Amino acid sequence: VDVRLGQLSRRLGQAEWLDGDFSAGDLMMVTVLRRLEGSDLLARYPALAAYVARGEVRPAYQRAFAAQLAVFERSSR
């Protein structure tokens, strides 16, 4: 995991998003990286932690997260 996070951190560099403007790729990557919450892995990569924080406040991310949560909540009843 550390190898991949290092690669991703280097790819992101000082950029705000992975490929220019915020895209579906960023939406998916933020979702994947959020799975590391509760571990110290993401904290080792400050650029990635900041990337996740930026992504989480995007309206597109919030809509996608809410839609996914709604599906989960309906299926767990």
Looking up residue 25, the CATH number of its domain turns out to be: 1.20.1050.10
- Asked if residue 52 has pLDDT above 90, the reply is yes
| Token pair 């989960």 in the structure block, residue | 72
**Count: domains in the chain:** 1
* 12, 47 Cβ separation under 8 angstroms: yes
pTM (predicted TM-score): 0.86
pLDDT in tens, 13-50: 999 999 999 999 999 999 999 999 989 999 999 999 99
Question: Tell me, what's the pLDDT at 35?
Answer: 94
The range of the structural domain enclosing residue 10 comes to 2-75
Question: Tell me, what's the pLDDT at 68?
Answer: 87
CA separation (Å) from 1 to 31, 62, 68?
Answer: 16, 26, 25
What CA–CA distance (Å, rounded) separates 19 from 27? 12
Q: How confident is the model at residue 6 (pLDDT cuts 50, 70, 90)?
A: very high
- Asked if residue 65 has pLDDT above 90, the reply is no
